[in-house]
Copies of this chain bind each other. A is one copy, B any other.
Amino acid sequence: MSTPTTTRTSLDRTDPAGAVAAAAARCSNWGRWGDDDVKGTLNLVTDEHRRHAATLVRRGQPFSLAQPFDMDGPQKGWRRRTNPVHTMLDTGVEAELGDQGLPHGIGGADDVVSMPLQCSTQWDGLGHIFDHGRAWNGRRAAEVVTSAGDLVTGMETVASDFTGRGVLLDVGRHLGDTAHGELPDGFAILPEHLDATIAAQGPTSHVGPGDFLVVRTGQYGRTRREGWGEYAGGPAPGLSFTTVDWIHEHDVAAVATDTWGFEVRPNEFDAAFQPLHQVVIPHLGLFLGEMWALEELGADCARDGVYEFLLTAPPLPITGAVGSPINPVALK
């Protein structure tokens, strides 16, 4: 299939603020789960949903959807985001030399990591993005996230909530280039692209309430061949701003992509920065997964034609965190 022309629905490229406000008005979930809610769309993942999701495990094969966490990552310092710095406190070298001061021949190695929570495969928490000073559920941003961290919706509040049915929509493979199944940078994935992918992939790809929607663009695979380039923050395929209603109507629990920023880059307005984030996080209460590694899973789904699986992607419950590094595991 040749690369399709994106037929954009009518967006006024000069008015991102207006588009954000209108979308927020149409799709807001504020108050839907009570004024005290801290879980947003994760409320849609019920025990029954999880019970069903477990039945999707057919072969018992696990897929790690995390990129490697190391210095060879995509970060270049923007917003003080570095790649993870991993250092050793003790090593096997000293253990072998026997100079660790430990008895009866035991030796040990310990290590430390320092990293931005947004540097690699991750969840964006509900405290990560605000709209005009408002956080999820209408709270004042200044009362939610201070220098002490997220006092209300920190990742520790959703420590057990990231297990459920995952569905891979491999838009890259279905609409991208034939050689690698990759969408070009700047490609805006429209609602009709999502629907077309579901139709092409077949019945295991239906998307419904509480599902974890995983969208493969193929961009991460391209970086594996060609180098990171501007992966962190530069041009990328991604969800169009116009998918906001689709996301809201399908009532998914979360959306994850293999790109840095979930939505298409450059953004679809003349001067804008991540306008879809601005709607879905504070207004829908949606959790976003970014920088997921979907090459192996995508290939497997293409092989067996099964695009649903049990997904477990537990965040580190760092108190007050507005996001978390993760190692999502798909079990097919």
**Chain A residues close to B by CB (< 8 Å):** 16-17, 20, 46-55, 57-64, 66-72, 77, 79-99, 102-118, 127-133, 135, 140-150, 156, 159-163, 269, 271-275, 277-278, 310, 312, 314-323, 325-329, 331
Contacts and interface: CB of A to CB of B under 8 A. Distances in A.
B86 A77 contact: no
Each complex incorporates copies of this chain amounting to 4
A62 B87 contact: no
6 contacts: A54-B57, A62-B163, A80-B85, A88-B88, A106-B278, A316-B327
Contacts of A161: 62
A97 B140 CA distance: 11
Contacts of A103: 16, 271-273
A323 B88 CA distance: 11
A92 B144 contact: yes
A209 B112 CA distance: 32
Contacts of A59: 47, 51
B60 A130 contact: no
A149 to B, nearest CB: 6
Contacts of A278: 104-106
Contacts of A141: 92-93, 95-96, 107
Pick from A61, A95, A320, A329 the residue with the most CB of B within 10 Å. Answer: A95
A314 B329 contact: yes
A147 B106 contact: no
Given A96-B133, A314-B328, 7 more contacts: A20-B106, A47-B59, A62-B163, A68-B319, A94-B147, A96-B141, A110-B128
A79 B110 contact: yes
B118 A115 contact: no
A106 B273 contact: yes
A146 to B, nearest CB: 5
B85 A112 contact: yes
Nearest to A160: B64
Contacts of A63: 160
Nearest to A63: B160
Contacts of A327: 159, 314-317
Return the 9 tightest CB-CB contacts between A and B, nearest first. A92-B141, A51-B60, A92-B145, A50-B60, A54-B57, A47-B60, A96-B133, A70-B319, A107-B130
Contact of A66 (B20, B140, B159, B275): B159
